Structure 1
Amino acid sequence: MKTILILVGKTQNKHFIAGINDYTERIAHYMPFEIRTIPELKNTKSLTEAQQKEKEGQLILQELQNSDTVVLLDEHGKEFRSIELADWLLHKQNTARRLVFIIGGPYGFSPEVYARANDKISLSRLTFSHQMVRLIFVEQLYRACTIIKGEPYHHE
């Protein structure tokens, strides 16, 4: 199973970039994994929130294949403990050809992206910056991989 993380806009903070790159390399030892970045929209001051979500949504949908299993990282999604996420991921590895996670822009997702999604996951009830969520997610994905393999990274 190929796993893809789609992001809207570049990661700005050099510390987050270093952490994301570190975990991306680690994840690659367990599964094919890549991050795709959709460019940030230009001149957003003239757009409403809905227009911005719509335009970002069109760009996101262009990245998807019909057979993809699409999972949105969304505040209204399911919350998992790390071991539960690992179980969920193991199930997806047995049923999905391409598992695509999406972190949207600052206003979330368009209705069309929500309609295309197969699932939604929340990393926490707390609110994190979109930049920080990227690092937290790849760390949790790596943690799930190590749990599946029975490696000692996760302690419970």
Structure 2
Amino acid sequence: MKITIIDFNNDEEDLKKIYSKFVKRIEFFSSVNFIILKEKKEVNIDKKKYLETLEIIKNIPKNSKVFLFTINSRQPDSIEFSKTVTNEANITLIIGGSNGVDEQKLEQEITNLEKISFSKLTFPHKIFKLLVLEQIYRAFCIQKNIKYHK
């Protein structure tokens, strides 16, 4: 299995140790690849989202099931999420930029796109990235019956 996480910015120096801890744990089950994109310096938010979405699309690996994190989507619990992510050979998880993504453009271009949400709350970008890594690790533990998830 291969996991690709497409993310924006890379200014999480304070959390890199914790990220690394979860990545090492995940790599026991799967490879993890980060694609870090730079946010566009565009004043018009719709144009910014569109341009960033084009960058995302260019970086999605072929033959990968694609998941987009959005607020207004299905909210799986940890067990549902574990079934979702571990049932695919290759997955790509998209964490959009600070203004989100052009969802319509993504839906047009990516036929196997699935939208999911971890909460209706808004999180700082670097905290959400940590949450994603933790839930991926939890997903493998659930599927492999490893004592971590309670």
TM-score by length of structure 1 reads 0.86
Question: Residue 6 of structure 1 aligns to which amino acid in structure 2?
Answer: I
8 Å Cα contact 2:5-2:35 kept in structure 1:
yes
Distance 1:27 1:123 in 2: 19
Q: 2:140 aligns with which of 129, 132, 145?
A: 145
User: Structure 1 residue 3 and structure 2 residue 7: aligned?
Assistant: no
Q: What SS is found at the alignment partner of 1:143?
A: helix
Question: Residue 101 of structure 1 aligns to which amino acid in structure 2?
Answer: L
Q: 2:119 aligns with which of 120, 124, 130?
A: 124
Unaligned runs of 5+ in 2: none
Distance 2:143 2:118 in 1: 19
Distance 2:64 2:84 in 1: 16
Superposed displacement of residue 127, structure 1: 1.3
8 Å Cα contact 2:61-2:92 kept in structure 1:
no
Which residue in the other structure is 1:113 paired with? 106
User: Structure 1 residue 71 and structure 2 residue 55: aligned?
Assistant: no
Distance 2:142 2:62 in 1: 30
> Deviation string for 1:73-104 (max 9, x for gaps)?
11122111111111222322xxxx42111000
* C-alpha RMSD of matched pairs (Å): 1.6
Which residue in the other structure is 1:102 paired with? 94
Superposed displacement of residue 40, structure 1: 2.6
Q: What SS is found at the alignment partner of 1:154?
A: coil
Equivalenced residue count is 147
Q: What SS is found at the alignment partner of 1:152?
A: coil
TM-score by length of structure 2 reads 0.89
Which residue in the other structure is 1:30 paired with? 29
Identity of aligned residues (%): 25
Unaligned runs of 5+ in 1: none
User: Structure 1 residue 88 and structure 2 residue 102: aligned?
Assistant: no
